[in-house]
Amino acid sequence: MLRSAVLASILLAAAVCPAAMSPVSFAELSRIMRGFQESRLLLSAVELDVFTAAGAGATAAEVAAKIKAHPRSTETFLNALVAVGALVKQGDRYRNTPETARYLTAGSPDDARAALLHTVHGWDAWSQLTEAVRRGTTAVEPGVEARDAEWTESFIAAMHRNAGPTARALADALGMKKVRRVLDVGGGSGVYSIAFAQANPELRAEVLDLAPVVRIAQRHIAEAGLSERVTTRVGDLTRDDFGRGYDLILLSAICHMLDEAQNQDLFRRSYQALAPGGRLVIRDFILDEDKTSPRGGALFAVHMLVQTRGGSNYSEREYREWLKAAGFSRVERPAADDGLLVATR
């Protein structure tokens, strides 16, 4: 099971998902079916680091030499990247557009390649969707423990990059003034704990995650200069006792990884770990009652089908029922954030 925050943290941080679409024509369905071609083209370009190789201008042969590929296939590949607007061609030389130079080349302050490699790695799981539907669960080995260091690094990089602005906004929305102790369950890079600690100099936070992720979190926390106030704990969010006396427990992009029974157990343990008046903050996709919208949430439920043993996205009604059963007396859904639920002990 994937026990650290997964790609939802990326999508949740990026934007509120668009509403479900109306039925479309067969021509549009056919266009969607062919969408994998351009997707794979760009993913392979990131994987091969083509944009760094092209730089401000290079021939196909020069790019091929840099990425250790065949000149003929590289030229075909580069021409297609020009066709979709990712490169510009002048004579026999290829160069980056302003966008690819900014986000997809080494050395740029806005370099997003490490984050996008998580999408590259998601391709294999989605290629097994047919089998996952037949089985009722993932057809690949899930979880950070089953992945190599590169996968984990790209996965956490994606979360950290995209969640930064959202973490600061969440700290403002929740109000950190009276919060002293925070437990960030499956906290990944520690981006939310860092933002919370920066919002209140009296606040101390603890990031709980798997050992490979904790090592990465420690690096980000140290870079923020917060190692004394933001600590880490190696643990398993599906079974560990969380302790006691927390003012706030954060579950950001966690619940979608778990099945119904696991979420109910997680909420019970969270309730026990909170001080009276403490808050459990859930940030995730929250589906409408028929579970067909928001569109991004419905699609991400499929992402959980191919990536986890029992994960999915859930409706507000389901969350409220589970939280009430765990003992929470009040559950609120702030109007400012469609993906946020706050339960108070």
Note the pLDDT tens digit of each residue in 216-233. 999 999 999 999 999 999
What are the φ/ψ torsions at residue 170 (nearest 5 degrees)? -65, -40
DSSP sequence for 101-114: HHHSSTT-TT--HH
**CB-based burial, 45-79: b 16+ in 10 Å, e otherwise:** bbbbbbbbbbbeebbbebbbebbebeeeebbebbe
Does pLDDT of 19 surpass 60? no
Helix 191-199 with 149-174: angle, nearest 10 deg: 30
Mean pLDDT of 275-303: 96
Proportion of the chain above pLDDT 70, given as a percent? 89
Residue with the two structure tokens 């037949």: 134
- Give the tens place of pLDDT for each residue, 48-77: 999 999 999 999 999 999 999 999 999 999
Q: How many CB atoms lie within 10 A of CB 119?
A: 17
Does pLDDT of 81 surpass 60? yes
pTM for the complete prediction?
0.85
Handedness of CA 152, 154, 157, 162 (dihedral sign): negative
Report residue 210 as tokens.
Answer: 């798997």
Report residue 79 as tokens.
Answer: 């021409």
Which letter does DSSP use for residue 17 in this model? Answer: P
What are the φ/ψ torsions at residue 29 (nearest 5 degrees)? -60, -40
Query: What are the chain's domains?
Result: 134-344 (3.40.50.150)
- Give the tens place of pLDDT for each residue, 86-122: 999 999 999 999 999 999 999 998 888 887 887 888 8
Structure confidence at residue 214 (pLDDT) = 94
Report yes or no: 332 and 342 within 8 Å, Cβ to Cβ.
Answer: yes
Report yes or no: 326 and 262 within 8 Å, Cβ to Cβ.
Answer: no
Q: Letter for the amino acid at 112?
A: A
Report residue 84 as tokens.
Answer: 């979709």
